[in-house]
Amino acid sequence: MKLIMRSRVFLCTVFAGSIIMTGCVSQKTIDTYETQLKALEVKGVPDSLLSVVRVYISQAKGGKRSGNGTLVRASIDSVKRGLATAEQWYASTIQVSKPRVDSLLKFFNIQKSALSGMQLKEADSFLAIINSSAKTSDFFQAQVFADRLDTLLVALLQDEALAKKASAQIVGTWTMNKKHTTDGANAVEKSKVSFKKDGTFEMSEEMNGQTKPTLREDWQFLTQGIYAMKGDTILLSTHKEKCVRQVYWNLVNKKGKPDWVKNEKKPYDTVIKDGSKDRFLTFDYLKENFKK
């Protein structure tokens, strides 16, 4: 009977000891450190500094569940050191990054007044990230994108000059008539594109004749949309496409004899919203292949 009582006393002592050992670090304390970790993640502290903290927090939680107070305390001590190192890194980064980001933002806001169209759109996409990162005190990421824009700005200003020069010459109607006579072809390709001052365009493209030894084509497509200049490249955003006709003949072998099989597709007139028909051409290509 005394042995049984001693065993009960021993078990109670061990249980109480485990409570004391793990009770030194409450769940609220672990949650507080986890909140600090998440705050540093939002601020942009590199994962190389925070990954070890995550491991020790996970170990502390595991020790808490199993009643291993030694593991809990050792893990939390490591969490404290890791968070202190991350906080110190962030503080030193702020001293360097914040003034640089603030300075570059003032510079960009002055320089962007010289940009328009696609050049301005690209600069604004960087500025949106920089401002958003700075607003959440993620000056590390803000500086990364500010430095990228600082490097890109020279190219954007050059593109702006090219775009203005091309835009002054592009307005009007351009036509192309091209004969295909190589590799068994005997066809005529016609294209006409009109660029308007309001930024819209209309295009007609058609093909008629034999384009390959085994293929004949007769089709015409009409497209409408808006255009923009990225440097001297013309970006065509098609909003509407109309198929006037679309007929193909394929040369096949039927019972040992060649035969042209006709494949006629239905005309259509459709609105395009997903950008699937967008394309581009350089101003040099337009001048070399079209006549104004």
The pLDDT value recorded for residue 94 is 83
Q: What is the pTM of this model?
A: 0.68
Residues 173-194: tens digit of each pLDDT: 999 999 999 988 999 999 999 9
Tokens of 83: 């968070």
Residue 163 has pLDDT above 60, yes or no: yes
> How high is the pLDDT of residue 55?
93
15-51: pLDDT as tens digits: 334 444 444 688 898 899 999 899 888 877 888 989 9
Q: Please check the confidence at residue 129 and state whether its pLDDT lies above 50.
A: yes
For residue 203, what pLDDT is reported?
Answer: 98
- Look at residue 20 in the predicted model and tell me its pLDDT: 41
Counting residues of the chain whose pLDDT is more than 90, the rounded percentage is 69
pLDDT at 63 over 70: yes
| DSSP notation for 132-195 | HHHHTT-HHHHHHHHHHHHHHHHHHHHHHHHHHHHHHHH-EEEEEEEEE-STT-EEEEEEEEEE
Give the number of other CB atoms < 10 A from CB of residue 23: 12
**Mean pLDDT, to the nearest integer, of 206-211?**
97
Left (φ > 0), alpha (ψ -120 to 50) or beta: where does 235 sit? beta
Predicted pLDDT at 206: 98
Residue 64: pLDDT band with limits 50, 70, 90:
confident
Kindly report the average pLDDT of the chain as a whole number: 89
Helix (H) or strand (E) holding 51: helix 47-66
The band of 6, judged by pLDDT with boundaries at 50, 70 and 90, is: very low
218 vs 215: CA distance, rounded Å: 10
